[in-house]
Structure 1
């Protein structure tokens, strides 16, 4: 194995550990890596960001950390999904509220969070998302 291949393998392993931290909710370790320069919008091969993984897996502290560190709350993965839609899908009330406060757009993504809330009969989410300080399509 060449030095470049070794470096690539080590980098992939390191990135994998970071994504696992987001999935597990390891806020302290992830904060240390962000402090050391890891980008808050780091994404994996599927386009999932640290924020997407933390939101989908229900880790409100990590979501808050990433939002505070400038993570893009509307960044879509390769399937067009957003962290807000993932949190709506999983019924993560605190995370949905955090992302809305951070300016997440309920009308972006596939499906948009507002559509997911409607589909799952979450009228509480629909009201929250409709009151979000963003504009809908065409506005």
Structure 2
């Protein structure tokens, strides 16, 4: 099984062994342009994510759309991995190529707990994407009063 398939499948020990043999794998993108940390977090593999970060994976590495691991987690809603990334120093105000931030993704996908976490860790709710929308704009579209209250300007 190849390195990226081991990441997707959560084969922590295999990933660890491959990284020991070739440390450069920690930041080598797959054939579709996805960094290992993005693959691990998007596939909800917290233990593999820890191994990658322990081998100096770039926590803010971007995929082909400019998304970071934290952005993907905010989209998918995995609070455990969101905490891991934030505790390890992920940029809570990173922007993808469309100007979206982790907070915008959390609001867009109605992720109340992750929104709380991001705000507690310095996420800027005034940031706008390329369409001019803030996280609050997306909270309004999600029709979640609690989310709207949190993100109110």
> TM-score band (shorter)?
0.7 to 0.9
Q: What TM-score, normalized by structure 1, do the two folds share?
A: 0.79
Q: CA RMSD in A?
A: 2.0
SS in 1 for 2:27: coil
Q: Is contact 1:103–1:132 with CA below 8 Å preserved after alignment?
A: no
Pairing partner for 1:30 from 5, 12, 15: 15
Q: Which runs of 5+ in 1 are unaligned?
A: 1-15
Report matched runs for 1:1-139 at 5 Å. 17-39=2-24, 40-110=26-96, 111-132=100-121
Quick one: distance in 2 between partners of 1:106 and 1:22?
24
SS in 1 for 2:67: coil
Q: Which runs of 5+ in 2 are unaligned?
A: 128-153
Where relative contact order (Cα < 8 A, 6+ residues apart) is larger, the structure is 1
Q: State the partner residue of 1:8.
A: none
TM-fit CA distance, 1:121: 2.2
Quick one: distance in 1 between partners of 2:54 and 2:124?
23
Q: Is contact 2:106–2:115 with CA below 8 Å preserved after alignment?
A: yes
Paired residue total = 122
Q: Is contact 1:73–1:104 with CA below 8 Å preserved after alignment?
A: yes
Q: What TM-score, normalized by structure 2, do the two folds share?
A: 0.72
